[in-house]
């Protein structure tokens, strides 16, 4: 009886913690959901629908107990580009396809591989996204009228510059109040949800003092529907799939990266471990179902997940309560959202952009003036001026080349003295040379290996020993290069012995062409004895 009471008490305490944390993160999620949707070129309620549906599904099916999913700033450039080029209906199809790709990734167990994406790539595209989000809100911040959203960064900057004469001082004032509120509230009352207050304060000022002077959610989007989202299966055709698979794959890739980064952050805050492939599965199902109710692509949100944990979340129930709270808010308070000025939304997105920019880390990587710096800058610039679909693959390719270049310097070849061993049989001298290889022999070092040995072949004995006890890796290219080199030099009158291969190296030796052209000995001494018996 005592143990049952303890168990029940523990469960009740968990429910209490989850209830508080769920409402707390729900309060944070509402303004973000609307802001991210509008910045992506769609109606604000679509962001709310996404927060409700994706948040619920990921909380139930995801690989992290504390993950909070929903629309995020990272998706804004991709989603806006899809809306501008293909329209909202095709955005739903791209989101559905992205969900399918994520589920496929989970079955292929790609979740564990996502963690190998270089930091220079993630910092590059994340900071690039932050720049796009920040500058994308300049129009609302200054209250500019009749701005037309463009696909490319430089076109949007030109559009803003050309419309500066339409600056609305009331909009600038409201945005300034929003910025001041967001900056000051954490210093005055750190427990208050800063983004919600940062939205409400300028909204109240606008309603009571500048009514009808500013663009609002009501005047631009017609308000937010006070009803549940309806089911609609988009018209998917092969032609649309052919056009949208690239953007959909970009959404899936970025969503996988963001959600797993968020899960890693949650692990660090809770001393738990998430399940990467289950997380991808949950994200995939969420992104397949959400578009059927008008929602946009979603992923794990680092800031909301951290807020959930800091508020005391104990189980997955906190994410469920977060979704229920947002749903009830939609049903009860949706009409009041019409009064929110767009100038009040701009500081929220600018605040999010600043937090995701990681300026300090960006500067540190830039100062290194290495291959990482090049990867960082190229990924950053391509994200801003082209798109993420190009930026991430190019960044990864450059990172691979940078990695190979670094690794190519790790193979060291030590040339030991020429030994003259007196043969006990006939008294003649045996001359041989020992080369000790240390490091990986793979496609990045294979050419350097051949050059290094070849330039040392003049005026040395015709018998060579390759001591490979400290070789850490031999890939297919390394094996092929070693085989062809040994074959070539033996045709020129040399005799080559290989020594010291570890167990995995012996398997490579037996399965390759090496065993046809040379002999492998367990150590250098065994090779020496073989030479003496020649």
Per-residue pLDDT of the chain (534 residues; tens, 9 = 90+): 344 443 344 477 888 899 999 999 999 999 999 999 999 999 999 999 999 999 999 999 999 999 999 999 999 999 999 999 999 999 999 999 999 999 999 999 998 888 788 989 989 998 999 999 999 999 999 999 878 888 889 999 999 999 999 999 999 999 999 999 999 999 998 888 888 999 999 999 999 998 889 999 999 988 888 888 889 999 999 999 999 999 999 999 999 999 998 998 899 888 888 999 999 999 999 999 999 999 999 999 988 999 999 988 999 999 999 999 999 999 999 999 999 999 999 999 999 999 888 888 899 989 887 889 999 999 999 999 988 889 989 999 999 888 888 887 888 888 876 666 555 555 556 778 889 999 999 888 888 888 888 888 777 788 889 999 999 989 989 899 999 988 988 888 888 899 998 888 888 888 888 888 888 899 888 888 887 776
State the pLDDT at residue 140: 93
Q: What tokens appear for 181 in the block? A: 């509120």
**CA-CA distance, 496 to 326, in Å (whole number)?**
73
Strand partners, 413: 437
Who's near 18: CB < 8 A, 6+ residues apart? Answer: 313, 314, 315, 317, 318, 321
Strand partners, 412: 438
**Phi, psi angles (nearest 5°) of residue 513:** -80, 0
Looking at residue 189, the DSSP 8-state letter turns out to be: -
Contact 364, 372 (CB under 8 A): no
State the pLDDT at residue 151: 82
Topology adopted by domain 412-532: Transcription Regulator spoIIAA (3.30.750)
State the pLDDT at residue 149: 86
State the pLDDT at residue 208: 93
Contact 47, 291 (CB under 8 A): no
Contact 527, 521 (CB under 8 A): yes
| Closest residue by Cα to residue 62 from 274, 296, 310 | 274
Q: What is the pTM of this model?
A: 0.81
Contact 160, 147 (CB under 8 A): yes
**CA-CA distance, 138 to 85, in Å (whole number)?**
22
State the pLDDT at residue 114: 81
Contact 66, 318 (CB under 8 A): yes
**CA-CA distance, 316 to 95, in Å (whole number)?**
24
State the pLDDT at residue 509: 84
Who's near 88: CB < 8 A, 6+ residues apart? Answer: 41, 42
Q: What tokens appear for 6 in the block? A: 């303890």
Location of each CATH 3.30.750.24 domain in the chain: 412-532
| Closest residue by Cα to residue 380 from 136, 122, 151 | 122
State the pLDDT at residue 211: 83
């Amino acid at each position: 009886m005592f143990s049952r009471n303890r168990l029940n008490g523990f469960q009740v305490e968990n429910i209490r913690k989850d209830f508080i944390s769920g409402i707390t993160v729900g309060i944070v999620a509402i303004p973000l959901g609307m802001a991210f949707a509008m910045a992506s070129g769609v109606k604000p309620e679509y962001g709310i629908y996404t927060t409700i549906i994706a948040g619920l599904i990921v909380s139930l099916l995801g690989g992290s107990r504390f993950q909070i999913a929903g629309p995020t700033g990272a998706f804004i450039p991709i989603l806006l580009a899809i809306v501008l080029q293909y329209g909202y209906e095709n955005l739903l199809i791209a989101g559905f396809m992205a969900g399918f790709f994520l589920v496929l990734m989970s079955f292929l167990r790609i979740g564990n591989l996502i963690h190998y994406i270089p930091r220079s790539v993630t910092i590059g595209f994340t900071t690039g996204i932050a720049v796009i989000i920040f500058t994308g809100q300049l129009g609302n911040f200054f209250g500019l009228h009749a701005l037309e959203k463009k696909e490319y960064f430089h076109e949007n900057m030109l559009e803003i510059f050309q419309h500066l004469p339409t600056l609305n001082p009331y909009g600038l004032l409201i945005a300034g109040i929003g910025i001041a509120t967001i900056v000051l509230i954490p210093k005055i009352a750190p427990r208050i949800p800063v983004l919600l207050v940062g939205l409400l304060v300028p909204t109240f000022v606008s309603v009571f003092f500048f009514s009808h002077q500013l663009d609002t959610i009501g005047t631009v989007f017609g308000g937010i529907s006070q009803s549940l989202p309806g089911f609609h299966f988009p018209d998917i055709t092969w032609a649309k799939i052919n056009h949208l698979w690239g953007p959909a794959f970009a959404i899936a890739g970025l969503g996988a990266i963001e959600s797993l980064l968020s899960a890693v952050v949650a692990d660090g805050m809770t001393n738990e471990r998430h399940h990467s492939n289950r997380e991808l599965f949950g994200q995939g199902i969420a992104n397949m179902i959400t578009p059927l109710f008008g929602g946009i692509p979603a992923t794990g949100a680092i800031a909301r997940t951290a807020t959930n944990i800091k508020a005391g979340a104990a189980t997955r129930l906190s994410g469920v309560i977060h979704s229920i709270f947002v749903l009830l808010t939609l049903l009860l308070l949706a009409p009041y959202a019409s009064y929110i000025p767009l100038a009040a939304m701009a500081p929220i997105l600018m605040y999010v952009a600043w937090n995701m920019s990681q300026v300090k880390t960006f500067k540190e990587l830039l100062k290194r003036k290495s291959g990482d710096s090049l990867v960082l800058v190229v990924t950053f610039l391509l994200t801003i001026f082209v798109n993420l679909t190009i930026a991430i693959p190019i960044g990864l390719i450059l990172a691979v080349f940078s990695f190979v270049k670094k690794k190519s310097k790790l193979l060291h070849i030590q040339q030991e003295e020429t030994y003259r061993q007196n043969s006990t049989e006939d008294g003649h001298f045996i001359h041989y040379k020992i080369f000790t290889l240390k490091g990986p022999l793979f496609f990045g070092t294979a050419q350097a290996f051949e050059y290094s040995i070849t330039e040392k072949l003049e005026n040395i004995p015709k018998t060579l020993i390759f001591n490979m006890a400290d070789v850490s890796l031999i890939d297919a290219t390394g094996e092929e290069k070693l085989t062809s080199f040994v074959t070539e030099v033996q045709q020129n009158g040399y005799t080559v012995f290989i020594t010291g291969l570890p167990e995995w190296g012996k398997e490579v030796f037996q399965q390759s062409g090496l065993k046809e052209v040379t002999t492998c000995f367990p150590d250098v001494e065994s090779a020496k004895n073989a030479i003496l018996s020649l």
